Structure 1
Amino acid sequence: MSCVTPYQPETKSLPNRSLIVDGYITDQLGPHQVTLTYTADYTNTAVNFIVSGATVYVTDDQGNRQSFSDLGRGVYRTPATFKGQPGRTYKLTVILPDGRRYESQPETIRPVPAIDNIYATYTQKSVGNTATFDKGFDVYLDTTDPATTGDYYRWVWTHYEFLDFCEVRSRFVGSTAVENSYSCCQKCWDIIRCTGANCNNAISDEAINGKAISGQFIMRAPFSSLTSYYLEIEQLSISRDAYIYYKSIENLTQNNGGIFDAAPSSLRGNMVSVSDPGETVFGYFSASGAQKVPYRVDRTKGEGTPNLIIQPPLPPSPPPPPCAECVESDYRTRIQPRWWDL
């Protein structure tokens, strides 16, 4: 036990309420998505605030326009029938409710090679000096870079988890709090998307032009059940500017604090303010050629017992509680994943 003198370091914050744009379109059927948020000061727990009521649309080099619908919570989506055209150049426009206007730099959709193979390898690692193990399946893919130079790639993934329960509610029985799980009124899936460092695996063909890309790491699926783990994996062809942007994020997020690490910095991206050219805007909008494929991780090939996942409490019987609605959002959907029955 000792006295501690608090130390308040000098902090440098991002400009408050600067716009952040994150999203992309591809030459595959949608829906395609853009998220809009505002930055917050570091002293406000570094939380971003959503942008509601914006007008969002994309235009191509032939004057065609496609609008995005506002789904709430800062999420904007195209219709499921919309897809970009290879060789066309696209620009995103965002108009905020107060009239401020933003545009992206033009991005051209380039073709992407096919995914040759996807596979998963089971591994387990001890957690610290404990008897606990991190058990999971590392997912990889193989592809082949074409003979052309100047090709850049990025990989993203989405996991869908079928839900038995859509809500957990608390109630009191006398003075005792009781939790009840409410079954979903409709078929329902939770959506888990790669975010942050999990999606910043961009590479260039500079050192491997025309050769195989083997063992490209995609993600790690937890060994938390013996049921299969459903993934949809996208291989994207991106522009050189997009590659530099995502590679910079990767380098910054993987720093370990060594003296040779890159210094932290603010990454701008390809969005600019038309209303005020001096305004700071963050994020990136890209247009990519894509191949999306399903993959199921066979978790019966794990070793030992799956790591325990705490399930919601079962409802009391009788009487059973009413069902809970599956509310459509960025994280949950009633729409069955495209290849779910495979």
Structure 2
Amino acid sequence: MRYILKYKKRFFIVIPLMVILSCIEEIPLESDGFEEALVIEGTVTNEVKHHEIRLSKVFAIDSTGPKPLTGANVSLSGNKEYVFEEAEPGVYISLDSFAAQPAIEYELNILVNNKEYKSQSMQLPGNSKIGKLQANRIDYGGENGVAVTLNNQNIDQTANYYRYEYVETFKFNSNYKKVKDLIIVNEEPIEVPKQKEEYTCYQTNKSQEIILANTNSLSEDAVNNLLIKFISSDSPILSNRYSILVKQYVISREAYTYYEILEELSGLENVFTQSQPGFFAGNISNINKPEEKVIGYFDISSVSTKRVYFNYEDFYDANSIKPRFVSFAQCEVTTPSTSTLIAQLEQGIVRWSGVTPTGAFMVVPTRCVDCTVFGSNKKPEFWED
């Protein structure tokens, strides 16, 4: 089986002496630094939902990240006009739920601070569904672990360019399951029943990588064995049960080229959250001042999703030592004096572990018994055990 790693780097724009661009299409790159730029993030899909556009301002000399851009009038023109309302600073949600339709030209329109911005006209591309999403234990890059790979089913021969995102959720346990807590009453530590669920938790993370696939130059018009996620065997992500939801976007050739250049120039963090020593244009511009810096790419895309689950025991010996956030060696049991114990409890750094024959309280570091240090004790609605 062939595993392909596609674009697992973070976004960051740098100033290269020379950039070898894709033969598909060239996007202009400017090497001059800039004071500020409008950042527009948004993709409208063929899913019936309330779609989202994000607006912010980023500054070359500001490394603290983008600042939400408020007070904008945002709309999408197509078979009708769709109006977006600001739901929170910089986040604009369509008032109506809708799905992009084939053969319709869509344009994003933004009016803010007496400036008018417009995207290029975009159409919904072809459609392609995820055929198989599977997990296998492999050796990859000198490491052993579990690889999540994807194969798609090409329904429309015009679907040649793909972008992928995922949301991973995993279930895990704390090192120890304790039945009691310690609280302070009248300046004395006392035992009480456990106040909340702290043994079983869940953590959810969104993908940060650029993951692309292009079948335009392949003899077979399909994506085969595309590596979406590789998880090392020593990662606590694998310790109990894992699920990943993968979203496949069929995108335009121009959008593919845009993200491909982002990958080529990537090095550190997300392009939308770091200072920008360089700049290249997307498909959105100020209609009265085309030279103004605008970052981002507005796209119309068809979408397919698929989820897969697997357990630790599916690939590893159930009796082996499972990877954890905290090693057992870091979970030393101590018996502090009353004054020290009160101070530690007030700081939240220890939890109940037991009582000595003499009645002294034993404690361990909080991270060893409280899984909410690393995740949420609320079971996701979609979760299947």
Same fold (TM over 0.5): yes
* Aligned with 1:215 (options 218, 225, 233): 225
* Aligned with 2:87 (options 66, 70, 80): 70
Unpaired segments of 5 or more residues in structure 2?
1-14, 16-30, 174-183, 188-193, 269-276, 328-347, 354-375
> Is the contact between residue 249 and residue 303 of structure 2 (CA under 8 Å) also seen in structure 1?
yes
CA 1:238–1:77: 2 relative to 1, 3 Å: same
Q: Give the counterpart letter for 1:84 in structure 2.
A: A
Matches of 1:76 and 1:306, distance apart in 2: 43
* 3-state SS, counterpart of residue 250 of structure 1: helix
* 3-state SS, counterpart of residue 92 of structure 1: strand
- Bigger radius of gyration, 1 or 2? 2
> Is the contact between residue 67 and residue 78 of structure 1 (CA under 8 Å) also seen in structure 2?
yes
Matches of 1:299 and 1:147, distance apart in 2: 37
Q: Give the counterpart letter for 1:52 in structure 2.
A: T
More RCO (CA 8 Å, sep 6+): 2
CA 1:147–1:47: 2 relative to 1, 3 Å: closer
Matches of 2:203 and 2:119, distance apart in 1: 31
Displacement of 1:193 in angstroms is 1.9
CA 1:75–1:208: 2 relative to 1, 3 Å: same
Q: In the alignment, what sits opposite 2:284?
A: 271
CA 1:146–1:81: 2 relative to 1, 3 Å: closer
Matches of 1:36 and 1:30, distance apart in 2: 19
Unpaired segments of 5 or more residues in structure 1?
1-9, 128-133, 165-171, 175-180, 256-263, 318-331
Does residue 193 in structure 1 map to residue 206 in structure 2? yes
Displacement of 1:117 in angstroms is 0.5
> Could you list the per-position Cα deviations for residues 188-235 of structure 1 after superposition, in whole angstroms to 9, with x for gaps in the alignment?
98652222xx1x222332222553321112123464143322322111
CA 1:194–1:80: 2 relative to 1, 3 Å: farther
Superposition RMSD in Å:
4.2
CA 1:119–1:104: 2 relative to 1, 3 Å: same
CA 1:193–1:77: 2 relative to 1, 3 Å: farther
Displacement of 1:278 in angstroms is 2.1
* Aligned with 1:108 (options 103, 108, 123): 123
Q: In the alignment, what sits opposite 1:138?
A: 147
**Structure 1 residues 189-268: aligned runs within 5 Å:** 191-195=204-208, 198=209, 200-208=210-218, 210-221=220-231, 223-224=235-236, 225-253=238-266, 266-268=279-281
Does residue 25 in structure 1 map to residue 44 in structure 2? yes
Matches of 2:56 and 2:134, distance apart in 1: 36
Matches of 2:77 and 2:102, distance apart in 1: 14
Matches of 1:273 and 1:155, distance apart in 2: 29
Q: In the alignment, what sits opposite 1:155?
A: 164
Does residue 294 in structure 1 map to residue 310 in structure 2? no
Matches of 1:209 and 1:117, distance apart in 2: 20
Q: Percent identity?
A: 20
Does residue 305 in structure 1 map to residue 324 in structure 2? no
CA 1:94–1:228: 2 relative to 1, 3 Å: farther
Displacement of 1:119 in angstroms is 0.8
Structure 1 length as normaliser, TM-score?
A: 0.67
Displacement of 1:287 in angstroms is 0.7
Does residue 95 in structure 1 map to residue 111 in structure 2? yes
Q: Give the counterpart letter for 1:87 in structure 2.
A: A
Displacement of 1:108 in angstroms is 0.7
Displacement of 1:92 in angstroms is 1.6
Displacement of 1:314 in angstroms is 7.5
Displacement of 1:156 in angstroms is 1.3
* Aligned with 1:86 (options 82, 86, 102): 102
Query: Number of residue pairs matched?
Result: 283
Q: Give the counterpart letter for 2:151 in structure 1.
A: D
CA 1:316–1:126: 2 relative to 1, 3 Å: farther
Q: Give the counterpart letter for 2:216 in structure 1.
A: E
